[in-house]
């Protein structure tokens, strides 16, 4: 189960760091849905991928997250939690990453509180790839994802220019809801 959660958050991180290429779009089109909320979200992503191509998703990604003078959405924890970029949530996340022994990748221009980065770190913790492993994942989620990522994914799902990324928003929102519910279960 932890492996599947890690794969899900790694996929979200990959889709939010850059637009998918043709190979990834083809792979996503082959996903199988199911009757659960998560299965339906995977099915929606597969359906979106069957009508997408790398040119349209690149344009959509640009309009959503980069844009001329800024995209439709700002995918940063600091913005969602304070209304400004480079604020305390980023500093707290950087401290946590340092404690985990993680450093910002060379050549990366986005701050570490970008949704793609936090999804990738969470996936790495769940998979046991990073110091602290799965035992540190719950605390990381609770502090650095839970307070804001659900709102981000809901905004992505409703974004005006989103087509393919509407399905990514649904998948992300569903994943966050499931993680929140799991954390709230009695031990």
Q: pLDDT tens for residues 84-114?
A: 999 999 999 999 999 999 998 888 889 999 9
What whole-number distance in Å separates Cα of residue 185 and Cα of residue 85?
33
Whether residue 81 has pLDDT greater than 90: yes
- Residue 48: pLDDT band by 50, 70, 90 thresholds? very high
Contact (CB, 8 A) for 165 and 64? yes
pLDDT of residue 184: 85
pLDDT in tens, 112-121: 999 999 999 9
Average pLDDT over residues 164-181: 97
**How far lies 67's CA from each of 63, 73, 74, in Å?**
5, 9, 11
pLDDT of residue 42: 98
- Residue 68: pLDDT band by 50, 70, 90 thresholds? confident
pLDDT of residue 6: 97
> What pTM value is reported for the model?
0.96
pLDDT of residue 3: 93
**186 Cα distance to chain centroid:** 26
Q: Which of 150, 147, 148 is nearest to 170 (CA)?
A: 150
| Per-position b or e across 82-98, b if 16+ CB within 10 A of its CB | eeeeebebbebbbebbe
DSSP state of 64: I
Contact (CB, 8 A) for 77 and 89? yes
| Per-position b or e across 120-136, b if 16+ CB within 10 A of its CB | bbbbbbbbeebebeeeb
């Amino acid at each position: 189960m932890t492996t599947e959660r890690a794969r899900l958050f790694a996929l979200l991180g990959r889709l939010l760091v850059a637009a998918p290429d043709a190979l990834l779009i083809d792979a996503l089109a082959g996903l199988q849905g199911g009757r659960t909320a998560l299965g339906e979200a995977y099915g929606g992503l597969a359906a979106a991928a069957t009508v997408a191509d790398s040119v349209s998703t690149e344009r959509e990604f640009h309009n959503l997250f980069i844009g001329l003078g800024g995209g439709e959405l700002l995918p940063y924890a600091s913005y969602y939690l304070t209304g400004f970029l480079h604020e305390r949530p980023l500093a707290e996340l950087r401290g946590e990453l340092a404690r985990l022994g993680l450093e910002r990748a060379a050549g990366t221009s986005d701050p570490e509180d970008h949704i793609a980065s936090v999804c990738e770190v969470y996936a790495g913790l769940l998979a046991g790839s990073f110091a602290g492993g799965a035992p540190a994942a719950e605390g990381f989620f609770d502090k650095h994802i839970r307070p804001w990522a659900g709102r981000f994914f809901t905004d992505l799902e409703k974004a005006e220019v989103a087509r393919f990324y509407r399905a990514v928003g649904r998948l992300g929102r569903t994943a966050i809801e499931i993680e929140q519910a799991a954390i709230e279960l009695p031990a």
